[in-house]
Amino acid sequence: MATIEEVLDVEQIEKDIFRGEPVETLLHRTFGGQVACQSLIAAVRTVDPEFRVHSMHAYFLRPGKPKMPTVYLVDRIREGRSFCTRRIQAVQDGEAIFVMSASFHVGDPGIEHSDVVPPVPKAEELPDPADVPELKDRWELKEWSNWDLRIVPPDQTELHPRLASQQRVWMRYRGEIADDPTAHVCALAYMSDMLLLGSSLGPHPKERSRVQLASLDHAMWFMQPFRADEWLLYDQTSPYAGHGRALTQGRIWDAEGRLVAAVVQEGLTRLPRD
């Protein structure tokens, strides 16, 4: 399947206009993480190097066609001394399939605090799914074969008794990503859409095969530098599902226990009508 280098390869075709070529996929529609990642790449290329992305807010408007290139149109909404803002529109066949607002910050002194990473076994203590025979036919492992995704068994972690649905996943890119911090931020934007909506299915094992899943909107905040080719813990919860939609949340920690990013996503979780 597609490497992260292929996903990150976005071509500039005119000022503030970029194009991402199709990448190999098993999916019938373009993976949302791919469009988010490439939109962010396009936005980054329109800001000065001292600005670093600190947040993105996006809506998935139409299913993308995975065999068709995607054009990214960037609007320069704000140029400030500490912050700047970009609006990105992803287009196929003349129609917007995705829109994103991305905010960039140079960094300022301020107060500091952080939650503590939840107790989980180390990633190396869990089996590599690629080595587990009964998992080899799962589409997720085929689609994201370049990523190491290790779901923490519920009996090996401390789950909060008052949360409706929880899932924790160790993840990293199997190869080596260049030292450019932007590449790691955009790679994490890609990774953040993996498995997050699926965390809403924990309380509904009998419905798992019947639920139609699709990302509707996605917001992400970046706190500290990290590497996407080193272990990151994705702590996922789903506080609510109803009316064919589910709200999911994620916090991402590095192996040293530093909180590096946070995610909120709403997705379609529709059952077929009887």
CA distance 90 to 223: 26
Type and span of the H or E element at 84 = strand 83-92
Say what the pTM is: 0.94
SS3 assignment, position 34: helix
Quick one: DSSP state of residue 94?
T
Secondary structure, 3-state, 145-177: CCEEEEECCHHHCCCCCCCCCEEEEEEEECCCC
**Residues known to be catalytic:** 193, 215, 265
CA distance 263 to 75: 24
Q: Please give the structure tokens belonging to residue 216.
A: 């509707």
Q: Which residue type, as a one-letter code, is found at position 101?
A: S
CB 126 within 8 A of CB 152: yes
Q: pLDDT (tens digit, 0 to 9) for every residue of the chain, 274 residues total?
A: 789 999 999 999 999 999 999 999 999 999 999 999 999 999 999 999 999 999 999 999 999 999 999 999 999 999 999 999 999 999 999 999 999 999 999 989 999 999 999 999 999 999 999 888 887 778 888 899 999 999 999 999 999 999 999 999 999 999 999 999 999 999 999 999 999 999 999 999 888 889 999 999 999 999 999 999 999 999 999 999 999 999 999 999 999 999 999 999 999 999 988 7
CB 93 within 8 A of CB 64: no
